[in-house]
Amino acid sequence: MSDQNYLLSNEQLLDVFNLTHTATAIHVGENATIQTANDAMLKIWGKDRSVIGKSLEEALPELKGQPFIDMFKKVWREGLTVSGKDTAADLEIDGKIQTYYFDFEYRAVKDDKDKTICILHTAIDVTERFLKKEAIEQAAEKELALQREQALNEELAATNEELLATNEELQNAQEKLSVLNNELEDKVEKRLSELTESEERFRTMAEGTDIFIAVGDETGNAVYFNKPWVALSGRSMEDLLKFGWVDLIHPEDRDRYVGIYLRALEKQKPFAGEFRILNKEGNYCWLLASGQPRLHANGTFAGYISSSIDITDRKLIEIEKQNLGSLVEASSEFISLANLDHSMLYANPAALRKLGWSSVNNKTILDCIYPEDRGEAKNILNNLIEHGRFKHEIRFWNEQTKKPFWIEWNGFAIRNPETSDIIALATVSPDITERKLYQEELQEVNEEMAAANEELAATNEELAATNEELAQTHNDLIEYIKKLSDSEEKLLQAIRTGKMGTWSVNPQTLKVTMSTFVKELLGLDMEKDVEIGEVMKAVHPDYRQMLLTALDNAINHHLSSDTEYPINNLLTGEEKWVRATGMVFLDQQGNPTEYSGMFMDITERKLDELRKNDFIGMVSHELKTPLTAINGFVQVLQRKAKTTNDEYSSLALDKAYIQVRKMTAMINGFLNVSRLESGKLMIDKRPFKLDELLRETIDESFISPSTHQVTLGSSCGVIVNGDRDKIGNVISNLLSNAHKYSSNGTNIEVSCNITDDEVIVNIKDEGIGISPEDAKKLFERYYRVQSNHTISGFGIGLYLSAEIIERHHGRIWVESEIGKGSVFSFALPLK
């Protein structure tokens, strides 16, 4: 019998299919139409065979919104197999929606053309297994939570024990603090005595030295000048303190030096600078000034002690060297400098033009000589080492045109001033080509005109006399150039010793010429010409626009420059800080011919500044820890004093608490110094009571018995949103001015006017008053009253006050009348 006789019919296959315990169904099409499903699958669905022929969504509407319908579509379209373990499905069984968990598989069945013909769907109900596993995990989590709770209870008990021990230590600390308080009072009294003696020693020293010494307070106002200042300026100590001395600074130096001082004052850092000042004879002399911050006993900034020395002689020598260098550059003579091995060190512009050279790099003295005359030149140079100088007529040549020209070759040796050893060779050589041609023509005329010998002899005598005069002139020039070379050599030695180099920019072509030091520092090719773009590659990107602006100001406005910026060596990548100074040279028509100056390595100074900033930040950070402890002890004592009704101790501790809070604010300010990149003030706005701030500032400003009566109006009870400490500084500055510029026994009134949107604070005195012209400019930077010299110093105090009020979007002004006093007012917004 054939095997085909045993093949089952479709009905028989379905009967066998229903006997399997694995839930199985066959679906056709994207909508998963149910082709067939065994009894196990119908049981899972909770349906009967009426669902056969329906789509899965029609048969099981509860699957809408669940991912299974979309899975079927994806399997049908892409011919995939999708399966899952412990997958949740919400099914409606016996009219109720319940969640079951299944291991399932949707498998695409394909024909021999790889086309999906149906989807085989199998599923196993694992709900019971899943729920048991979940229950076990929840039980484990509860056990772990109980263990954590028990551990926390044990830690809480230990913490309570530590708290009791801490309370006992606090009690002991309070008792020790009382003993320390008494010791502190004794130390303060001793320190005041030592400070008085120190001030007397300082004044004795300052009056006995030739150095110009001055002392300023924290607002920038001078409080002391020694005798050398009096002798230099011709002004008395009283006039210097009253009138100031800024007006004596040369107008070209004033803004620069005052700017250096004010920037240092804002950051409370050391400063240094050079400037010219008018002496009592009416002449300007150069001073080099430097100032170091001085501190109060509590470590707060108290102002500066500055010292200045007279550097007039040194500056005049520098100017003379600069003038000599300009003279050499402008000379039409052939001037050069070479090493003992004949390698060229320098040739002035006239020499480079005559030789057809762009520079002296890789050139020797013999390269200047016309090839036919070089043997003679070697002998002349050998004799120079022996005799120290020579004078000879010889032919040089232009390498570009190959044409010779005659010069009177004057050479001399440059010696070391200390050892007298020859260290270089210099030449000063006028062009005598025309004279030589004339002599040759004259010789031809002598040969052709023998009859005119007598007349020619007379002419020769005159020519000889002229030659003698010319020779004398040349000798004088040689002596002058020798002195010039000596000065130049000293200048070059000073430049090399001081880590400096020179640079120059042609205003027309923008071609840059640099010394070897500058090229090495920037990492530029020693042999190639330098362009502005190459230089800018070595400059830090943040400073390139600054240098381009300085170049534009120099060429178009003839302004000098003095800039500091970081560079990165183009070869090694090493970062350094440099300082470049420059000035513009003009021709007789006022057109720029050269923009040149000095280039200095200031990396060590910059690193010192960074180390100082790091030190300030570190010290400030370390000070916060003991200050926090002091603050805590003061608060404990405040509570104790209030408990015992000790009014004196309570008042003293309240003031101590205020000072601790101010010291904390100042330390926080030190920590912000290293983050500041500009001179702008940082404002920390918070609500505060204005009347409390006014009372505190008045009390702190007049701790000792005052010669003035200060009254505070009652209309200042308002809350202001602003920086309490900085507004306090404004009030303190205005009170200080009122106290300083009004007579003893007069009144100072502090009052407030409150409007809908601002509060106005008025500080009225009965002092000397200010003219209307000066009042208009009183709050400007650097301004100092010139008419009657009523206000001394740099004018920074009122300017900083105005800046603080402006940062609060307020306004500040003064109303005054000469001889009748002034009213300084400022307004702060309330909204």
Question: CA distances (Å), 324 to each of 316, 317, 489, in order?
Answer: 12, 10, 12
* Domains 3-125 and 317-497 in one fold: yes
**Cα 514 to Cα 59: distance, rounded to the nearest angstrom:** 92
Nearest to 742 by CA among 828, 810, 800, 823: 823
**pLDDT above 50: residue 676:** no
* Residues 588/575, Cβ–Cβ less than 8 Å: no
Cα-flanking dihedrals φ and ψ of residue 401, to 5°?
-90, -15
Q: Which of the 8 DSSP states describes residue 769?
A: -
Phi/psi at 209 (5° precision)? -110, 160
- Tens of pLDDT, residues 345-396: 888 888 898 899 999 899 998 999 999 999 888 888 888 777 778 888 899 9
**Would you place residue 462 in the very low, low, confident or very high pLDDT band (cuts 50, 70, 90)?**
low
Tokens of 374: 């070089």
Six-digit token pair at 251?
């107008």
Q: Which positions ≥6 away from 666 have C-beta within 8 Å?
A: 300
pLDDT at position 825: 95
Tell me the pLDDT band of 672, cut-offs 50, 70 and 90. Answer: very low
Among 311-315, 442-446, 556-560, which is the least confidently predicted range? 442-446
Q: What confidence score (pLDDT) does residue 749 get?
A: 92
Distance CA 529, CA 525 (A): 8
At 379 the pLDDT is 87
What integer pLDDT is reported at residue 795 of this predicted model?
56
Mean pLDDT across 82-110: 88
Tokens coding 407:
């010069």
State pLDDT tens for residues 775-831: 888 887 556 665 544 444 445 668 778 888 988 999 999 999 888 899 999 999 987
Compute φ and ψ for 772, nearest 5 degrees: -60, -35
What was the pLDDT predicted at 225? 87
What is the radius of gyration, based on Cα positions, of the chain? 48
Q: Which residue has the tokens 């307020």?
A: 810
Give buried/exposed letters for 563-599 (b at 16+ CB in 10 A, else e): eeeebbeeeeeeebbbbbbbbbeeeeeeebebbbbbb
**pLDDT tens sequence across 603-634:** 888 787 777 766 766 666 667 678 777 877 78
Q: What region does 635 belong to: left with phi over 0, alpha with psi -120 to 50, or beta?
A: alpha
Helix (H) or strand (E) holding 306: strand 301-310
CA dihedral 534, 538, 541, 542 (to 10 degrees): -120
Q: Which residue has the higher pLDDT, 186 or 676?
A: 186
Extract the tokens encoding 335.
């001037």
- Is the alpha carbon torsion for 368, 370, 371, 376 positive or negative? negative
Identify the weakest region by mean pLDDT among 18-27, 341-350, 551-560, 611-620: 611-620
Amino acid at 136: I
DSSP symbol at 669: H
- Asked whether 510 and 504 are in contact (CB, 8 A), the reply is no
Report which secondary-structure segment, H or E, holds 393: strand 389-397
DSSP state of 295: E
Handedness of CA 691, 693, 694, 698 (dihedral sign): positive
C-alpha pair distances (Å), 699 with each of 31, 221, 692: 89, 23, 11
Q: Which of 648, 645, 552 is nearest to 592 (CA)?
A: 552
- Separation between Cα atoms, residue 415 and residue 434, nearest integer Å: 34
**Apex 331 CA angle, 325 and 333, nearest 5:** 125
The better pLDDT of the pair 742, 475 is held by 742
Retrieve residue 155's tokens: 């830690």
Given pLDDT bands bounded at 50, 70 and 90, which one contains residue 652?
Answer: confident
Paired tokens of 803: 């800046």
Q: What is the pLDDT of residues 236-289, one digit of tens each?
A: 888 888 767 788 899 998 899 889 989 988 998 999 989 999 988 889 899 998
pLDDT of residue 781: 59
Which runs of E-coded beta strand occur in 602-739? 686-689, 709-712, 719-722
Q: How confident is the model at residue 669 (pLDDT cuts 50, 70, 90)?
A: very low
* Cα(273)–Cα(266) distance, integer angstroms: 17
Instruction: Say how far apart CA 272 and CA 617 lie, in whole Å.
Output: 22
Residue-wise pLDDT for 127-145, tens only, equals 888 888 888 888 888 888 7
- Return d(Cα 138, Cα 131) in angstroms, integer: 11
The rounded mean pLDDT for the chain is 80
pLDDT, one tens digit per residue, over 297-309 is 778 898 888 888 8
- Domain 500-601: homologous superfamily in CATH: PAS domain (3.30.450.20)
3-class DSSP state of 455: helix
Which of these CATH numbers, 3.40.50.300, 3.30.70.20, 3.30.950.10, 3.30.450.20, describes 3-125?
A: 3.30.450.20
Among all chains, which residue has been given the structure tokens 């003030």? 681
Residue 13 has pLDDT above 60, yes or no: yes
Q: CATH for 317-497?
A: 3.30.450.20
Q: Is 575 helix (H, G, I), strand (E, B) or coil?
A: strand
CATH number given to 686-829: 3.30.565.10
Q: How far apart are CA 233 and CA 414, in angstroms?
A: 44
Helix boundaries (H) for 742-793:
772-777
Q: Are strands 344-347 and 334-338 parallel, antiparallel or unpaired?
A: antiparallel
Least confident of 125-134, 324-333, 425-434, 761-770: 324-333
Of 503, 355, 333, the residue nearest 426 (C-alpha): 333
Q: Give the right CATH number for 209-310 from 3.30.450.20, 3.40.50.11900, 1.25.40.10, 3.90.1150.10.
A: 3.30.450.20
- Residue 675 above 50 pLDDT? no
380 or 417, higher pLDDT: 380
426 bridge partner residues: 337, 412
Residue 765 CA to residue 729 CA, distance in Å, equals 18
Looking at the chain, the whole-number percentage of residues with pLDDT higher than 70 is 80
Q: How many C-beta atoms surround the C-beta of residue 799 within 10 A?
A: 17
Identify whether the C-beta of residue 251 lies closer than 8 Å to the C-beta of residue 284.
no
The rounded distance, in Å, linking the Cα atoms of 162 and 784 is 63
Mean pLDDT of 566-576: 90
pLDDT band, very low/low/confident/very high, at 761 (cuts 50, 70, 90) = very high
CA distance 377 to 192: 81
Q: Which pLDDT does position 3 carry in this prediction?
A: 47
What residue segments make up the domains of the chain, in order of their start? Answer: 3-125, 148-207, 209-310, 317-497, 500-601, 608-673, 686-829
Are 351 and 336 within 8 A, CB to CB?
A: yes
Go through 324-358 and write b for each residue having 16 or more CB atoms within 10 A of its CB, e for each that does not: bbeebbebebbbbbbeeeeebebbbebbeebbebe
Distance in angstroms between the alpha carbons of the first and the last residue of the chain = 108
Nearest to 539 by CA among 499, 508, 512: 512
Residue 492 is predicted with a pLDDT of: 53
For residue 420, the tally of other CB atoms under 10 A from its CB is 8
pTM value > 0.75: no
Collapsing DSSP to helix, strand or coil, 662 comes out as helix
Has residue 192 got a pLDDT over 70? Answer: no
Pairing of strands 709-712, 747-754: parallel
Under 8 Å CB-to-CB from 17, ≥6 apart: which residues? 24, 36, 38
Structure tokens at 605: 């100074």
| Integer Cα distance of 609 and 162 in angstroms | 46
